[in-house]
Structure 1
Amino acid sequence: MVTLSLTRSRIAAVLADAATLLEADGWDPHTNRLMGAIDQAAGFTPGSGSTDAEQATLNAWETLTRHLNVDCVSAWEQAPGRTALQVLSALHGAAAKAVA
């Protein structure tokens, strides 16, 4: 659910920015994970981030979960054989759905 202050385009931007970060830094399911990239893209620091940034992170995570049609993105991310291309494609696909 998108709050009044958090638009679908903001959620899409967070997801797309997370993909850009992972592409630049290199995705790793153990050391450079999806959640960290989404937090960073939203400007959220756990424990000290703004409410808006935290909500952007939560909404982006929910959008990605729905796009992948999974219960747990972390399990999906850490599945054997998962590739960086699949992760980046998932983020871009979820971003596109966020504004569709």
Structure 2
Amino acid sequence: MVHSLRCLGSAALNLAHVASGQQDVFWEGGCWAWDVAAGWCILVEAGGIMVGGNPGDWICEVDSRKYLAVRGAPSGQKDIVEELWRVIGDRKLVYES
């Protein structure tokens, strides 16, 4: 269940909030690799995961421009991703590099 949405104006800052547990997820499309690279490193070091922003994209490339970050919670990360993807359904984020 979603209780609120928050956008801090910076992908790296949003990813840092997910890494620290202040946010559960960050879903974004349109960012460039330089917008997410540092935050992605922080997220992974904190136990979080980054997957693609579209349903089924379990492997995410840094230049994909479509991202879904989930905080460090190993027992529930996959469930969170699958629940969000189920809600998204067949809709897609479309951004070309």
Which TM-score band applies after superposition, normalised by the shorter structure? under 0.3
- RCO higher in 1 or 2 (8 Å CA, sep ≥ 6)? 1
TM normalised by structure 1 equals 0.27
Structure number with the higher strand fraction is 2
TM normalised by structure 2 equals 0.28
